[in-house]
Amino acid sequence: MTDKAARLRLAREAAGFENAREAADRFGWAYPTYSSHENGSRGIRADKITEYAQAFRVAPAWLLSGDGPMAAPKGNAEGTAKRASGFGEAEIAPFIPASASAAKLVENLAAALAAGSRHIQTFTAQRDYAGYAVLKGDLLIIGTPRKETEGDLVIATLTDTNDGTSMTVLRQRMGDRLVPPIQARIEDEDKLSAGILGTVISVVRSPGLA
């Protein structure tokens, strides 16, 4: 088991979950994926580190590399998503349900709204995107649609090629470029690489289920 996996197990136990399946069921994670992260048989991406840290209320930097205290900063006590390192505050975070019933409700909602799409996932906006008519707290349902269209909103992971840190963002697809909203800072594209997680299929206004 890797040190990172051992810290993940410790975080889960400290959060009061008896085993990996109990935690996976509580937060709506795929059990095979989460258990492979916890037993060290599969690597963990930076965005998943941030998601797990938020769920278990531990510091992302500690979970990522063992740096600093285990407990999340007081300003993050209510689960506000923070980056594992670099980039500052997250713009988009994976949806963390408040309960098993909320997880099931959102799962069914996403399946209905994104019918016909593959690889459906749910995220929440951590800030307002006035240019995209997206508000902080909105639920974003993404997937791979049957047909992609110029101007689609997408959720992507920007990675700093200098230090490997990454951040999940909302962008607009224009040709082969990802265009930030007018109020976003312009990234230094020479230092960043981007990977699209999915196209935004539907936006649900602040469902209050997280």
Euclidean distance between CA atoms 15 and 182, whole angstroms: 39
In a domain, 139, yes or no: yes
The pLDDT score that the predictor gives to residue 2 is: 61
Model pLDDT for residues 150-174, shown as the tens digit of each residue: 889 998 877 666 655 667 788 888 8
37/11 same-domain check = yes
Token representation of residue 89: 């505050």
Report the interhelical angle of 31-38 vs 20-27 (nearest 10°).
130
Model pLDDT for residues 58-82, shown as the tens digit of each residue: 888 888 888 778 876 544 433 333 4
Token representation of residue 155: 């959720």
What's the total number of domains in the chain?
Answer: 2
Strand 153-160 relative to strand 92-94, pairing: unpaired
Euclidean distance between CA atoms 167 and 103, whole angstroms: 24
69/119 same-domain check = no
- Banded model confidence at residue 186, pLDDT cuts 50, 70, 90: very low
| Straight-line distance from the first to the last Cα atom of the chain, in angstroms, rounded to the nearest whole number | 31
- CATH at 195: 2.10.109.10
Domain that includes residue 167, residue range: 100-204
